[in-house]
Amino acid sequence: MSTPGGEPRDGQPAGGEGLDDAVRSMLLLMPRLVGRAKRIPVPEPLRGFALAPRHLSLLACLLLDGPMGVNDLAARLEVAPTTASLMVGDLSRQGILERREDEADRRRRIVAVTPGQLPAIEAWLAPGAAAWRTALGPLGPAQRRLVVDTLLAYEAAVGRERG
């Protein structure tokens, strides 16, 4: 975005990677990213289930981190334990997740993807995880944190804008 005289508003020379250039790049990139993610087909074994985006985050956590308790899952998802429990209940009733006793603490329940659904969920979510590994792999830990923090800040700003 430029001033009437043609100078970029952010003070960077034309053609440089100034703030407006970066914003322009992101405004062009984000719809493509979302569009590609939406085009990932749901595997046939999962098509009959009522899966929402919130379920995908939960399934991704279990796929990447393995079986865990509801409180641990809630912490990773950054939701209240009751919310995580409701999602787990929903997916358990559909036969996607199972709850079992924790051998170390019989009062605690461990949540896992059912063995019969695991191959379809892996086939569905693993390519996205692999793509992120490819994109983030060359970066150092501080650079990875910057990418994640930037996306979180964008999410928060969009949330504030949309109210």
| pLDDT 10s digits, 112-130 | 999 999 999 999 998 889 9
Whether residue 2 is contained in a domain is answered as no
Query: Which pLDDT belongs to residue 17?
Result: 76
Mean pLDDT computed over 130-154: 95
Q: What is the CATH number of the domain that holds 62?
A: 1.10.10.10
Asked if residues 81 and 69 have their Cβ atoms less than 8 Å apart, the reply is: no
DSSP state of 8: B
Count CB-CB contacts under 10 A for residue 149.
10
Contacts of 21 (CB under 8 A, 6+ apart): 8, 12
How many domains does the structure of the chain reveal?
Answer: 1
Confirm whether 85 is domain-assigned: yes
pLDDT at 39: 83
Residue 136 lies inside a defined structural domain of this protein: no
Q: Could you give the CA distance from residue 69 to residue 103 in angstroms, rounded to a whole number?
A: 12
pLDDT (tens digit, 9 = 90+) per residue, 35-87?
888 888 888 888 888 888 888 899 999 999 999 999 999 999 999 999 999 99
| pTM (two decimals) | 0.76
| Gap between the Cα atoms of 115 and 122, Å rounded | 11
